[in-house]
Structure 1
Amino acid sequence: MKFFATCPKGLEILLVAELTDLGATEVKQTATGAEFYGELEQAYRACLWSRLANRILLPLVEENVETADQLYAAVQSVDWLQHMAEEGTLLVAFTGKTDAINHTHFGALKVKDAIVDQIRDKTGMRPGVDRENPDLRVHAHIYRGKLSLSLDLSGGSLHRRGYRTRAGAAPLKENLAAVILRRAHWPELAVDHPVLFDPMCGSGTLVIEGAMMAADIAPGLLREQFGFERWKQHQASLWQSLLDEAADRKTAGLAAVSSRFYGSDQDSSVLALAKENAERAGVAQLISFKKGSVEQMVVPENAPGLMVTNPPYGERMGDGSELMFLYRQIGDALKQDFAGWQAAIFTGNPELCQVVGLKADKTYSLNNGPIDGRLFLYTLYADRTDTVKDEQKDEHEVVAANVLSDTAQMFANRLKKNLKALKKWKKQQNIDCYRLYDADMPEYAVAVDLYNDWVHVQEYAAPASIDKVKAFERLKDVLAAIPEALGVNPRKVVLKQRKRQSGSDQYGKQASVGRFFEVQEHGCRLRVNLHDYLDTGLFLDHRPVRHQIQQQAVGKDFLNLFCYTASASVHAGVGGARSTTSVDMSATYLQWAMKNMALNGFNSKEHHFIEADCLTWLKKQRKPEYDLIFMDPPTFSNSKKMLDVLDVQRDHVDLIKLAMRLLRKGGVLIFSNNYRRFKLDYELLAGFDIREITSQTIDPDFKRNTRIHSCFEIRWP
């Protein structure tokens, strides 16, 4: 019998070898698969034992078709009662097209009609369609006018082994994990390298697949059902004998396996999933899971092995520069601690592996769904000269390792110069947070902000024309220079990449670390968080505006629109405001705002918090109830919580007019925004008394970047 095995693109050569090893004959590679010959037992064995295939198909018809009628006739050439009962159920999968059949749903419907009509005409009974658990799965594919009609013997995709009911973010498919291991020569490598280690194991797919390979466990043994089990020609006794054989091999394999397996991850929740998955796979006793980060990565035991991992590589998991540091940490750990090992790194962003600092022995292109991935294989030679442990280095060598490069020293000198220049001003102002550096030197395009003894570094996204590796090396200089220049703990330096924000990005949560701490500004206590969000909770450039509000607020009713974490409301309260009202559409930031106010003793009913889109809320208000209003809208927002898109240049006239309706005579609206090219429309706002005060709202730490914001005082004439 002729069969066809499908697989992801890039796995075909390995699939041919696997099918040959499983006893198939006349195995021939095709696009995204392989055809092979054998008895029915061979198809069953491929379903049970293939670690690489997606599906095993039994071809029924290969015929040229162009029209829907020709498709219908080709399908009816098969005697379907040989394959399913008249009262059975089926499901048709259709791919490809012709000029006349240009929609997959139409093609599937035509195939289904041909089968159902034939059985109804012969028996008077009509089979049903079951999308979840059909008795028979039919696969139809048309390519260049040729129909391939097959039975799907596997049922659901074979990559679903049955042990992974839940997974972490961006999990590898099980058959992709298997091909990564095969390309890295596992489990043959285990003879001399008996340890398998994944330092970012997530839900455990790589180590579980590796353990199943080493223990000779059939990947299909846990599956609840295959597509052939309700097929009329299914040979149940033959299938049971193969299952019994696989069970015996599993028992013997588990008893004989001598390899050791280790998985670590910094996320406790996905480690719990990994342990559950390993239990279901029957290999939990072989794998040691432990919480740990790449920064703490060391060899799990004193024996050579294979380090294999799939680090994050896209915006779902982190930004470019932070990921480069992650990949560099992997490379540094491998060079320092993994002499004599083999390493395999699979990534969807091959550029990131340029910073690993190791020369790959081989690379392979592998698709991870729609992502063009690359597998890098490395040998960590036992006689490397750069693998000497820190404790083996003498004092001179350790000191030499901390010496900055010439360019990094230039950056460090600039930081020291700025620190000295701002020292007296900072003390006079009684502030804990300020900007120390803002792209003063073109080659170091970062902003450096101090928050007590913490340093917040924002890297401005480099243009596409800038070499990413060179930009990364400069960023390395920055992070090396900061602790030396400022005398801070390197672990208190937090890096983020500053990109142009759009939509609801301003509210985007980056992590769930929950690291809040308190800072002070002009006598106000404020909570900041340098890790979990794009911004820290405190816009440093608006410090003078907040101080102005504090000085003007005594006895006044204060309105804070687009309030963020309500730091301006805190200043108003500390300045003696009679009441404060803070409006923002983010529940997260309003909770933060409430805690900021409570931190300063403002818990009374005179302090209000309103969760609403400011523009919508303003349109509903009519009474002039406020003496002092602060409005600092985002440059652009298309958050799902808003009824419309907000563009500050386009919409500022409406925003100002709506806010001025709420301002009492003699009051002032302070309008500010951070759009660098903002121009106030004085003509459309001619009915108000407007004074630009931008220059008065730029403190010395922002003098290098006076276009950081625009600010205006607006009053009734």
Structure 2
Amino acid sequence: MSERHSLFATAPRGLPDLLATELESLGLAGVHAQRGGVAFEGALADAYRACLWSRIANRVLLPIARFEADDDEGLYRGGLSIDWSQHMGPESTLAVDFTGIKAAISHSRFAAQRVKDAVVDQLRESTGARPSVDVREPDVRINVHMHRTSVTVAIDLSGDSLHKRGYRETGVAAPLKENLAAAMLYRADWPEIAAGGGGFVDPMCGSGTLAIEAAWMAADSAPGLLRTRFGFLRWRGHDDESWKNLVDEALDRQEAGLGRLPPIAAFDNDRRAVRLARANVELAGLSGRIHVERREISAASAPAGTDRGLVATNPPYGERIGEQHELLPLYLRLGETLRTRFPGWRAIVLNGAGCQIGLKPDKSWQCFNGPLECRLERFEIATESEGSRATPAEDLVNRLHKNERQLRKWLKRDNVTCYRLYDADIPEYALAVDVYGAESGRWLHVQEYEPPASVDPGKAQGRLRAALSAIPAATGVPPERMVFKVRRRQRGAEQYNRMSEQSRTPVVREGPCRLEVNLTDYLDTGLFLDHRPVRHWLGEQARGKRLLNLFCYTGAATVHAAVGGAASTTSVDLSKTYLAWLRRNLALNDRDERRHSTVHADAREWLANCQETFDLIFLDPPSFSNSKRMEGSLDVQRDHVAMIDDAMSCLSEEGTLVFSTNLRSFDLDSTLEERFAVEDRSRWSIPKDFERNRRIHRCWFIRHPA
């Protein structure tokens, strides 16, 4: 069975060069990287060696025929020209995979069907019986590749993709395939680091893939040893003796290698990830050899007794629009952790979010994690003496401390726990920093104002990284409790669109009320901090009265009125999401929903048809909205007179309409003062923490004439 064959190993996108290097290291001959993978030559034992030992390859193919085909009939005739009895019998099951490059037949399922028909028809004619199709676990998997009219038919010796090592829990999808993890380790020269006694750490380990691949690589453990199925095991051309010899050799090498494993640690802040990583480590036969622990990224550390090694990790990518900016603090914490806790180590990061970590890579490669384009970045982490520390944002830190001192007495006196600490006080740091004193601990909500085009993007990014690195320590809030967003100019309901699915929803206190905020999923948090005085006033005035809250959003003003003893409240909004949020807020304060109704409607249309009377009305419309769920569009400058007139027709004789807008260019129509008692309360309505930005909103009390 020493016949020589032309063979082909397929590779993940961007990795044929690495696969070629690996196959050469396995002693295989004729290795040549090309599009889609690596061609090589050898006996069946060499193909088996690639299946058992390759950490990079997806599949190993044994070509058995080549022919030309212009159409499906040509493909069928070419399939009939192959003697399939050499490869399977009627008792076998089969599956056909088809790939093509500018193929004459573009419909892959149809092309695969025609080759399958040729196999089945030939075997049925010669034996009187036909093989069955099993697309999941066939005895023989046939690979058909078509380049224009040139067709190559091969036996897939691997069967299933070789990245499936056999240690992952069934049914669990992983964000990082095993062969991409191995590629990361090769790019970082992990085998050489491990041989020199270096340690390994993954500070965001997820399901533990990188740590397991690192352990197997360091222990000289063949990645295919746990697999129970290969494509050649039920193929008629299988050389069982050669295969068993390779497995025996691999088992001997694994036993010897496991005894010299370097220290390997895997950390993650997610409890479920830690449980999953431990389960996978056990399935991989590495229990007691990989330390898995729940830790926040800032607490990751080198294993005891190691002063050099490799940090390898695959941070979250944030596939949703906007999440890349939210992930920036996480990437900066990663950079700070590498700088302070792993000096002298090497690091390799699969960066799919495009976020900088505050360190300069010494080398990087383009690669793909599934369909996602990523950069694989390698860092040599300098020691403290080599001057690796970044210059802190001293001006920003000093201003944060100053603002905190100036607000301290007011915060304590008025029992304010959610407030704006900083609002672009220094032009170079165009940020808004809000503190949310949740019942579970303090959070930071940081927003970057979109810089003007005149600002150099590189300098702006550098200042932003410095600011986000400095803010947690300056405020005494753990870095993992900082949420970051970019605030761009919004139109209408855009500010209410969902940006994320992280759902960090702590409960905060505002005066006597408990309120749920969502720090991650939307541009705003569900609580407009600048309207705090208005909400408190409504709560103080509400006892025994009827409140109408139009464009109610998450209903914080409604909750204040309800807690203040309102006889009833009616809250109107076009969003079911925010009305449900309001009902949760009412439940947090033990308010009976029967007295506090929520109305799903266009507030402007509902108001125009309202026949009820209210003692307090809060009208705070968006500046502009053209939601598909409403008739026409809403423009607060154009439409405010009509809305105020309709609201006043629903207001009791002694009642008060509170009208507010955050449109900076807004002008209240002067004719309103001819018909109603209008009082500008804008100055009063701006709380102390927003005094640096008195244009944040405008506010009027409007009443019927005496």
Superposition TM-score, scaled by structure 1 size:
0.80
Report the counterpart of residue 268 of structure 1 in structure 2.
271
Matched residue SS, 2:105? coil
Distance 1:168 1:693 in 2: 60
Contact 1:554–1:578 under 8 Å retained in 2? yes
Q: How far apart are 1:53 and its partner, in Å? A: 0.1
- Separation in structure 2 between the aligned mates of residue 691 and residue 120 of structure 1, nearest angstrom: 92
Matches within 5 A, 1:552-631: 553-561=542-550, 563-582=552-571, 585-586=576-577, 589-590=581-582, 592-598=584-590, 603-604=591-592, 606-608=594-596, 610=598, 613-615=600-602, 624-627=611-614, 628-630=616-618
Which residue of the partner structure matches residue 489 of structure 1?
A: 476
RMSD value, Cα = 4.6
- Please say if residues 690 and 712 of structure 1, whose CA atoms lie closer than 8 Å, have aligned partners that are also in contact: no
Take 1:402 and 1:629, find their aligned partners in 2: how far apart are those partners?
A: 51
Give the superposition deviation at 1:437: 3.8
Q: 2:428 aligns with which of 430, 433, 443?
A: 443
> Could you report, residue by residue, the CA deviation over 1:237-274 in whole angstroms, capped at 9, with x for unpaired residues?
443443343333333332x3241211111112101111
1:129 positional shift: 3.0
Contact 1:138 1:150 in 2 (8 A): yes
Equivalent positions of 1:248-287 (< 5 A) are: 248-254=252-258, 256-287=259-290
Q: Return closer, same or farther for 1:479/1:74 CA change in 2, 3 Å cut-off.
A: closer
2:103–2:146: 8 Å Cα contact kept in structure 1?
Answer: no
- Would you say 1:699 and 2:686 are equivalent positions? yes
Task: Give the structure 2 partner of residue 291 of structure 1.
Answer: 294
Shift in CA distance, 483/199, structure 1 to aligned 2, threshold 3 Å: closer
Measured after TM superposition, the shift of residue 294 of structure 1 is 2.5
Aligned match of 1:398: none
Provide the C-alpha distance between the structure 2 equivalents of 1:351 and 1:536, rounded to a whole number of angstroms.
24
1:2 paired with 2:6, answer: yes
2:80 and 2:644 mapped to 1: Cα distance? 72
Change (3 A) 1:22 1:112: same
> Offset of 1:352 from its aligned partner?
1.1
Is the Cα–Cα contact under 8 Å of residues 618 and 659 in structure 1 kept in the other structure?
no
Q: Which residue of 2 aligns with 1:115?
A: 119
Pair 503,134 (structure 1): closer, same or farther in 2 beyond 3 Å? farther
Contact in 2 for aligned 1:266/1:293 (Cα 8 Å): yes
**Aligned equivalent of 2:251:** 247
**Tell me, what secondary structure is at the counterpart of 1:555?**
coil
Q: Cα gap change, 1:646/1:244 in structure 2, threshold over 3 Å: closer, same or farther? A: farther
Whole-angstrom CA distance in 2 between matches of 1:560 and 1:217: 67
Cα distance in 2, alignment partners of residues 677 and 111 from structure 1: 70
Instruction: Tell me the amino acid that sits aligned with residue 596 of structure 2.
Output: H
Q: What secondary structure sits across from 2:63 in the alignment?
A: strand
> Counterpart of 2:66?
62
614-623 vs 279-288, greater mean Cα deviation: 614-623
Distance in structure 2 (CA, Å) of the matches to 1:477 and 1:495: 15
Kept after mapping to 2: 8 A contact 1:570/1:596: no
Offset, 1:165: 2.1
Residue deviations 1:598-633 (CA, integer Å, cap 9, x gap): 3xxxx34653364x7444998799773451444556
Letter matched to residue 581 of structure 2: Y
2:372 — aligned with what? Answer: 371
Listed one character per residue, the Cα deviations across residues 302-321 of structure 1 (whole Å, up to 9, x for unaligned) are: 22332222242532499556
Contact 1:323-1:352 at 8 Å conserved across structures: no
- Equivalent residue for 1:542, pick from 510, 522, 531: 531
SS of residue matched to 2:356? helix
1:120-142 Cα offsets, whole Å, 9 max, x none, are 44445444433322232222222
Q: Which residue of 1 aligns with 2:96?
A: 92
**Matched position secondary structure for 1:17:** helix
Distance 2:608 2:164 in 1: 56
Letter of the aligned partner of 2:485 in structure 1?
Q
Assess if the C-alpha contact under 8 Å between 1:564 and 1:593 holds in 2: no
Deviates more, 1:562-571 or 1:423-432: 423-432
Q: Secondary structure at the match of 1:352?
A: coil
Q: Could you tell me whether the CA contact under 8 Å between 2:166 and 2:226 is conserved in 1?
A: yes
**Are 1:264 and 1:292, in contact at CA under 8 Å, matched by a contact in 2?**
yes
Per-residue deviation, residues 612-660 of structure 1 (Å, max 9, x unmatched): 7444998799773451444556678999xx9689965499979969996
Contact 1:581 1:609 in 2 (8 A): yes
Q: Which residue of 2 aligns with 1:138?
A: 142
Could you tell me which amino acid in structure 2 is paired with residue 145 of structure 1? Answer: T
**1:2-401 counterparts in 2 under 5 A?**
2-96=6-100, 98=102, 100-165=104-169, 171-254=175-258, 256-312=259-315, 314-316=317-319, 319-320=323-324, 323-349=327-353, 352-353=356-357, 355-356=358-359, 358=360, 360=362, 362-380=363-381, 384-386=385-387
1:123–1:403: structure 2 CA closer, same or farther, 3 Å change rule?
A: closer
* 1:568 positional shift: 0.6
Mapped partners of 1:163, 1:682: distance in 2? 74
Give the Cα–Cα distance (whole angstroms) in 2 for the partners of residues 349 and 496 of structure 1: 14
CA distance in 2, matches of 1:77, 1:311: 48
Question: How many residues end up aligned between the 2 structures?
Answer: 682
Aligned to 1:395: none
| TM-score between both structures, scaled by the size of structure 2 | 0.81
Deviation at 1:48, TM superposition (A): 1.6
> In 2, Cα distance between the equivalents of 1:213 and 1:595?
55
Q: CA deviation at 1:3?
A: 1.2
Is the CA contact (8 Å cut-off) linking 2:472 and 2:478 kept in structure 1? no
Q: What is the percentage of aligned positions where both structures have the same residue?
A: 42
- Tell me which amino acid in the other structure corresponds to 1:572: A
Tell me, what secondary structure is at the counterpart of 2:120?
helix
List runs of 5+ in structure 1 lacking aligned partners: 389-400
Deviating more after overlay: 662-671 vs 190-199:
662-671
Residues 121 and 61 of structure 1: is their aligned pair in 2 closer, same or farther, counting only changes over 3 Å? same
Indicate if the aligned counterparts of 1:557 and 1:625 stay in contact, CA closer than 8 A. no
Deviation of the 1:25 alpha carbon: 1.8
What's the secondary structure of 2:264's corresponding residue?
strand
Specify the code of the residue in structure 1 equivalent to 2:558.
S
Q: Alpha-carbon deviation of 1:205?
A: 0.8
Structure 1 stretch displaced more, 308-317 or 378-387: 378-387
Once the 2 structures are TM-superposed, how far is the Cα of residue 94 of structure 1 from its aligned partner?
1.8
Q: Match for residue 515 of structure 2? A: 527
Decide whether aligned partners of structure 1 residues 653 and 531 sit closer, same or farther in structure 2, where only a CA change above 3 A counts.
closer
SS in 2 for 1:345: strand
Secondary structure, aligned partner of 1:35: strand
User: What displacement does 1:216 show?
Assistant: 2.2
Would the aligned equivalents of 2:329 and 2:469 in 1 still touch at CA under 8 Å? no
Cα deviation for residue 235 of structure 1 reads 3.4
Contact 2:608/2:646 (<8 A) preserved: no
Distance 1:270 1:15 in 2: 30
Maintained 8 Å contact 1:557/1:578: yes
In structure 2, the CA distance between the partners of 1:58 and 1:244, relative to structure 1 (3 Å rule), is same
Amino acid across the alignment from 2:459: K
User: Cα–Cα, structure 1 residues 652 and 525, in superposed 2: closer, same or farther, change >3 Å?
Assistant: farther
Distance change (3 Å), C-alpha of 1:275 and 1:87: same
> What is the rounded CA distance, in whole Å, between the counterparts of 2:434 and 2:240 in structure 1?
70
Task: State the Cα deviation string for residues 282-317 of structure 1 (Å, max 9, x = none).
Answer: 112210112222222332222233222224253249
Seen in structure 2, the aligned counterparts of structure 1 residues 86 and 574 have a Cα distance that, compared at 3 Å, is closer
Superposed displacement of residue 712, structure 1: 7.6
TM superposition shift of 1:588: 6.4
Distance 1:246 1:56 in 2: 19
Return the offset for 1:93: 1.9
